[in-house]
Amino acid sequence: MDRAPLALAAKMRWITLVLAGLSFWSTVTVSNSFDYEEPEFDYYEEDRGETIEYKDPCKAAVFWGDIALDEEDLSMFQIDRTIDLTQHTNMHPHSRQDFLPQNESKGGTSAKSQTWKAGKVVKSRFPRAATSRAERIWPGGVIPYVIGGNFTGSQRAMFKQAMRHWEKQTCVTFIEKTDEESYIVFTYRPCGCCSYVGRRGNGPQAISIGKNCDKFGIVVHELGHVIGFWHEHTRPDRDDHVTIIRDNIQPGQEYNFLKMEPGEVNSLGEPYDFDSIMHYARNTFSRGMFLDTILPSRDENGVRPAIGQRTRLSKGDIAQARKLYRCPACGETLQESTGNFSSPGYPNGYPSYTHCVWRISVTPGEKIVLNFTTMDLYKSSLCWYDYIEVRDGYWRKAPLLGRFCGDKIPGVLISADSRMWIEFRSSSNWVGKGFAAVYEAICGGDITKDSGQIQSPNYPDDYRPSKECVWRIAVSEGYNVGLSFQAFEIERHDSCAYDYLEVRDGPLETSPLIGRFCGYDKPEDVRSTSHILRMKFVSDGTVNKAGFAANYFKEEDECAKPDNGGCEQRCVNTLGSFKCACDPGYELAPDKKSCEAACGGLLSKLNGTISTPGWPKEYPPNKNCVWQVVAPNQYRISMQFEAFELEGNEVCKYDYVEVRSGLSSDSKLHGKYCGTEVPEVITSQYNNMRIEFKSDNTVSKKGFKAHFFSDKDECSKDNGGCQHECVNTVGSYVCQCRHGFVLHENKHDCKEAECEHKIHSPSGTLSSPNWPDKYPSRKECTWDITAMPGHRVKITFNEFEIEQHQECAYDHLEAFDGDSDTAAILSRLCGSKTPEPLVSTGNKMYLRFISDASVQRKGFQATHTTECGGRLKAEVHQKNLYSHAQFGDNNYPGHTDCEWLLTTEQGYGIELTFIIFEVEEEADCGYDYIELYNGYDANSHRLGRFCGSGPREGIYSPGDTMLIRFHSDDTISKKGFHIRYTSTKFQESLHVRK
C-alpha cells in the first residue's frame, strides 16, 4: 500500500486476530532504520496541572509497523493471511520479543480470503468494497496540538520544526490547541514511535515520540501518519518497483511487508515514490545490517534508487499531501520574517477562475504587517467576482480584515497574532495586472488575551541580530500573569550585557524588575502581582542562539479564597495551582488537604496505641515512622497487634514494621513483619522498645494498629520458676521450652515433643532433636519441605554424626523425592562423614530421622535452600511455575541460569499462560530474559526470547516437550515471572483467541 491517505484507503483486508485480549502495554513493532525505541504515562499532565485523557496508540488493538490500529480500523481492514499482529514486537521497551508467527504461510502458499478458526480454514466473512473515509481528514487541514510537559526545550523546538516543514510544503496547518475537541498530543510513551493514521475524532489522540525517536526525520514521518498516510512500500503496485527478500526478514516481522489490494487504496494518481519519507529502508527488519529486505528495481541507467531517507519530504510526499487536502494550485506558506507575493501572471494579468491561498506564519509573539503595493482587479459590487480576502488568523474562518477589489490600494493591515490568511479568487474574464504585496513580521506589542505563547523572533531557529521586542501582557483584572518557560537559550554573560530577556512586574520600563535572564538554564516560573507583565527581549549584532519559548496565562491565588483553598491548616500558592501544607508536628493526610499528627515520636506512657498513618485507610507511600517507647526501670514493654495488613509476604523488602529492644536502629531485632498474618505478642528485653514502619512508593495496604503495655519482669527472679526459658508478658509471664521439647501440663517444666515439621520457607535450618546435644533414643522425626513451584529443595549438611552401620540399619536419616516416604528414595545416611548435598527433582522433599534404643550421637544440623529448574510434568489441570523462590517478596537474584523441562503425554502440546512478567528490559533482550524451545534442548526450534513485560498472550508448543531457560546478569533485577502451564490438544487451541 502506498503513502495513500486514509480518507481514500478505506479498507485493508480483514485482520484475523489471535488475541489474548487488549493489554495495558500494547506493543509496537519498530524498524531498525528508524532507531525506534521506547519509557511510560497513562495520562499527560500539562504544565498547569490540566490532565488530558487521550486516545493512546500504545493501547491500540494491533499494530502494523509503527502504525496503531484500533477496533474501528479492524472492522474495515482485510489481510490475506492470518496474523497475530500483537505478537510482532521487536523493539518494544517492555516486551522485547522475537516471536515467530505460528501460522505464516510458507513456500508461496496463498491463504487469500481465508482465515483460521479453531484449526479450520473458513472463508472470510468480511469481503467488503472500498469506501472513502473523509472523517479521517483534518477539517481545513488544521491540526491542533499539545506538546507534553515531559519533553525538553530542544525536543519541543524540533517538533515545531517538523510541523513547520509540513506547513511550508503543503497547506496543512498546525496550531496550538485552544478549545478544539480533536487534537494531537505529543507524548513520551513506552511503545516508542507510534501514531494513528489520520484524525480519530471525539477527543485528543497521542503521537508517541519515545526513546531515540526525537529525530527530525522520524517526527516528520510520524506526522505523516497523523496527516493520513500509510507506508509507501505497502501500495498494491509495489512489486513492480521493489522486491521483498523474505529470507532476510527477521523471524516474526514478515507481516510488515504485506501490501494492499488495488480496490482498497487510491494512490491519487501519483507514481511509486522511492524517495518518500514514508518508505522503509533497504535493511528494515533485516536479519543483518548488510542484508536487504527491500530491494528497489534498477532505473533506466541501471542504478538502484535510494530508499528510506529520513531528512525531508519528497516531491511525491508533497504532491500527495496537496492532493489529499485539496490545496489550491497556487499560493504557498510564507515563514520568513519578510517577504512578498503576487497574483499569478503579475504584472501581465491574471487568468480567470483562479484560486490562490497564501498563509503567512511567523514566530508567536510577532505580528504581521501587510502592505499591498499594487492593486488592479475587476471591480464589482461587494467584490463579488474577483477579490482578495485577508483574514486575521490561520484559516478561512478567521476574522476578516478586509475584502478588496478594483484599483484602490488598501491601507496597512496588521494581524493580532502571528498568522495571516490571504485568499485570491477570480471568476471574470476581465484582464488586469493583478496585485502585489509585501509583508514584515514585527515583534512585541500589547497582548490582551488570557493565555498564549511568546517566542523569540525566528524561534525555534536562531533569533536575528539587533532585535528589540517589548511585550505588555494584560490578562483579566483580578488575576495575575503567570509565565512558564518551555525552552531557553540566549547568549551567556555573567551580567546578561549582550543578549537578554527582561521581565518586569507591571506595564512600564520602570516597573519592578523580576529578572534579567540569559544563558541556557530555564528561568523559574514567574508570577506578577498585578494583571500586567512586561517582557523585553534584546539581541546585539553578534552571537545568536535559539532563543526562548514561554507560555503565559492568567494566574489565580487560590489561597486567597475564603475557604483557604480547602486546606485544613496552611495553603501554599503555586504557579497555576496550589498545595496544602501542615503546621509543625502534623503531616498531610491521604486526601492532601487535611492534616494529621505526624507518625512516630517518643512515648513514655505505661500503655497506649500506635497505628500506621491514615489508619484505618490505606497508609501513604514513602513513609518512615519511628516510635520510641520508654518505660521505668525493671519494666518490660509488650506490643500486641490488633490488626495487621502490609504489602509483602515473608522477606518483607517493600513495606514492613520492625520491632527492637532498645532505642537505636541496630538494637536487638525481635522481628521484621509484613503480609497479613498478625504477629504474636512481642516483649522487649529491656525497659525500652523501638518500632519502625516503612512503606515504598508502590502498593499500599490498610496498615496496622497495635497496643503497647509496660509491666514488671517476673522472669528476672529465679527465671520465673521455668525449667528452660521464661518470657515476660503483660501482667504475667510464660515458660517456653527448647527445640524438641514441649511445655508440661504444669506450665513450667518441659518434656520431649512430637517431631513432625512442615516447612514452606525458601531457606532455613533443621537439626536432629535436642541439637547440639545428643539425640534421644527411640525417636522418629520427619520434615515435609515444600519449595516454590518450579524450584527444587536442596539440603546442605553443616554437621553430621549419626551411629555408624554399613547399611545404616540402626540410627539413620532418609531423604525421599516427594512429599512422603512412598516417594522415590534419594539417600539413606549415617556415620560421621558429612554427606554431599541432596537435591529433589520437584518442589518437595521428605526427610525422616530414626534412632534406636542403644547408641546416641550428636546428630546433624543442615540448611535447606532451593534451586531453580528441573523436570516438570504438564497435565490437563493448570500448574504454576515461578522465576525464583522468593517471588512476590523480593526481586529475582542476579547471576541466575535456570532450565525447566516441561513434558506431557504424546499427542498433546503444552500451553503457557503468563500471569505476571517483569524482567529487565533491553532492546535485544541481551541482559535478563527467558527463552522457550519446542524440544529438549537449545538446539530445538526456538519459540521466542522475552524480556520487559513479556508476551501479551499464551505461548503454545506443538510438541510434547518444552524447554524454558531463564537467565539474569549481575546488575538490574525485577519482580520476575509467574507462569501457569497445562497440557492441551495443540490442534484445538493454537489459533483460538484466549
Q: Residues 100-111: pLDDT tens digits?
A: 233 333 333 333
CA gap 813, 792 in Å, rounded: 19
Q: Does any domain span residue 648?
A: yes
Lowest average pLDDT, out of 234-238, 373-377, 646-650, goes to: 646-650
Coil/strand/helix, residue 320:
helix
Please report, in range form, the residues annotated as the binding site.
221, 225, 231
Please report, in range form, the residues annotated as the binding site for Zn(2+).
221, 225, 231
127-154 as b/e, with b when 16 or more CB fall inside 10 Å? ebebeebeebbbeebbbbbbbbeebebe
* 242 within 8 A of 295, measured Cβ to Cβ: yes
CA gap 332, 360 in Å, rounded: 8
pLDDT at 75: 67
pLDDT at 81: 35
pLDDT at 924: 84
Mean pLDDT, to the nearest integer, of 248-274? 81
Task: Indicate if 266 and 138 belong to the same structural domain.
Answer: yes
CA gap 882, 551 in Å, rounded: 51
Q: Does any domain span residue 123?
A: no
Lowest average pLDDT, out of 46-50, 117-121, 596-600, goes to: 117-121
Can you give the pTM of this predicted structure? 0.53
Q: Does any domain span residue 109?
A: no
What kind and span of H or E run contains 222?
A: helix 216-227
Q: What is the pLDDT of residues 761-816, one digit of tens each?
A: 888 899 988 888 888 888 889 999 998 888 889 999 999 999 898 888 889 999 99
* 405 within 8 A of 395, measured Cβ to Cβ: no
Closest CA to 283 of 306, 260, 300: 306
pLDDT at 540: 92
> DSSP character for 490?
B
Task: Indicate if 875 and 967 belong to the same structural domain.
Answer: yes
Residue scoring higher pLDDT (78 or 515): 515
Q: What is the pLDDT of residues 653-699, one digit of tens each?
A: 888 999 999 998 888 999 999 988 899 999 888 889 999 998 888 88
* 151 within 8 A of 41, measured Cβ to Cβ: no
Q: What is the pLDDT of residues 442-474, one digit of tens each?
A: 999 999 999 999 999 989 889 989 999 999 999
Task: Measure CA 161 to chain center.
Answer: 26
* 781 within 8 A of 755, measured Cβ to Cβ: yes
Angle at 754 between CA 752 and CA 759, to 5 degrees: 125
- What is the 3 state secondary structure string of 406-461? CCCCCCCEECCCCEEEEEEEECCCCCCCEEEEEEEEEECEEECCCEEEEECCCCCC
Domain count, the chain: 8
227 confidence band (pLDDT: 50, 70, 90): very high
Mean pLDDT, to the nearest integer, of 814-839? 91
CA gap 173, 926 in Å, rounded: 43
In Å, what is the CA distance from 239 to each residue of 6, 228, 422, 792, 804? 21, 23, 44, 56, 83
Instruction: Write the burial class of residue 342 (CB in 10 Å: 0-12 exposed, 13-18 middle, 19+ buried).
Output: buried
Most distant CA pair in the chain, distance: 130
pLDDT at 62: 78
Q: Tell me the backbone φ, ψ of residue 559, rounded to 5 degrees.
A: -75, -15
In the structure grid, which three cell numbers stand for residue 704, read together? 496496622
365 confidence band (pLDDT: 50, 70, 90): confident
Task: Indicate if 162 and 279 belong to the same structural domain.
Answer: yes
Mean pLDDT, to the nearest integer, of 404-414? 95
Cβ-proximal residues to 379 (8 Å cutoff; 6+ apart), any chain: 405, 406, 407
591 confidence band (pLDDT: 50, 70, 90): confident
The mean predicted confidence, pLDDT, of the chain is: 82
| CATH number of the domain enclosing 421 | 2.60.120.290
pLDDT at 360: 97
599, pLDDT greater than 50: yes
Q: What is the pLDDT of residues 708-755, one digit of tens each?
A: 988 887 787 788 889 888 887 766 788 988 766 778 888 888 876 778
Task: Indicate if 60 and 180 belong to the same structural domain.
Answer: yes
Task: Indicate if 185 and 277 belong to the same structural domain.
Answer: yes
Task: Indicate if 805 and 948 belong to the same structural domain.
Answer: no
- Catalytic residue, from 38, 222, 714, 921: name it: 222
Residue scoring higher pLDDT (21 or 62): 62
Q: Does any domain span residue 363?
A: yes
Cβ-proximal residues to 718 (8 Å cutoff; 6+ apart), any chain: none
58 confidence band (pLDDT: 50, 70, 90): confident
Give the domain range for residue 682.
599-712
Q: Does any domain span residue 111?
A: no
Report the percentage of the chain scoring pLDDT > 90: 40
Mean pLDDT, to the nearest integer, of 811-829? 91
236, pLDDT greater than 80: yes
In Å, what is the CA distance from 713 to each residue of 133, 731, 873, 963? 85, 9, 56, 60
In Å, what is the CA distance from 294 to each residue of 23, 231, 317? 32, 13, 20
CA gap 467, 460 in Å, rounded: 16
Closest CA to 950 of 936, 964, 934, 970: 964
CA gap 730, 635 in Å, rounded: 10
* 642 within 8 A of 702, measured Cβ to Cβ: no
Based on the residue annotation, tell me whether 167 is a catalytic residue of this protein.
no
CA gap 116, 440 in Å, rounded: 64
Q: What is the pLDDT of residues 463-509, one digit of tens each?
A: 989 999 999 999 999 899 999 999 999 999 999 999 999 999 999 99
* 166 within 8 A of 327, measured Cβ to Cβ: no
CA gap 117, 123 in Å, rounded: 10
Cβ-proximal residues to 723 (8 Å cutoff; 6+ apart), any chain: 735, 737, 744, 748, 749, 750
Residue scoring higher pLDDT (110 or 255): 255
Strands ordered across the beta sheet of 451-455? 451-455, 547-555, 480-489, 526-527
614 confidence band (pLDDT: 50, 70, 90): confident
* 550 within 8 A of 473, measured Cβ to Cβ: no
Report the percentage of the chain scoring pLDDT > 70: 86
Q: Does any domain span residue 309?
A: yes
Task: Indicate if 861 and 833 belong to the same structural domain.
Answer: yes
Neighbours of 853 (CB within 10 A): 8
Task: Indicate if 278 and 384 belong to the same structural domain.
Answer: no
Chosen domain end from 443, 469, 489: 443
82, pLDDT greater than 80: no
pLDDT at 431: 77
Residue scoring higher pLDDT (106 or 159): 159
Task: Indicate if 401 and 300 belong to the same structural domain.
Answer: no
Mean pLDDT, to the nearest integer, of 395-406? 94
Chosen domain end from 836, 868, 900: 868
Q: Which residue type is seen at 299?
A: D
Lowest average pLDDT, out of 123-132, 371-380, 435-444, goes to: 123-132
CA gap 920, 589 in Å, rounded: 35
In the structure grid, which three cell numbers stand for residue 319, read together? 504532491
CA gap 618, 703 in Å, rounded: 6
Chosen domain end from 569, 588, 607: 588
Mean pLDDT, to the nearest integer, of 8-37? 32
397 confidence band (pLDDT: 50, 70, 90): very high
Q: What is the pLDDT of residues 910-944, one digit of tens each?
A: 898 888 899 988 888 888 999 999 988 888 888 88
Task: Indicate if 184 and 270 belong to the same structural domain.
Answer: yes
Cβ-proximal residues to 642 (8 Å cutoff; 6+ apart), any chain: 678, 704, 705, 706, 707
Q: Does any domain span residue 117?
A: no
Task: Indicate if 699 and 792 belong to the same structural domain.
Answer: no
> DSSP character for 216?
H
Q: What is the pLDDT of residues 946-970, one digit of tens each?
A: 999 888 788 888 888 999 999 998 8
335, pLDDT greater than 90: yes
Angle at 14 between CA 9 and CA 17, to 5 degrees: 130
Q: Which residues pair with 839 in a beta bridge?
A: 794
* 509 within 8 A of 420, measured Cβ to Cβ: no
Neighbours of 186 (CB within 10 A): 24
Task: Indicate if 740 and 826 belong to the same structural domain.
Answer: no
Q: Which residues pair with 683 in a beta bridge?
A: 638
Q: Does any domain span residue 122?
A: no
216, pLDDT greater than 60: yes
346 confidence band (pLDDT: 50, 70, 90): very high
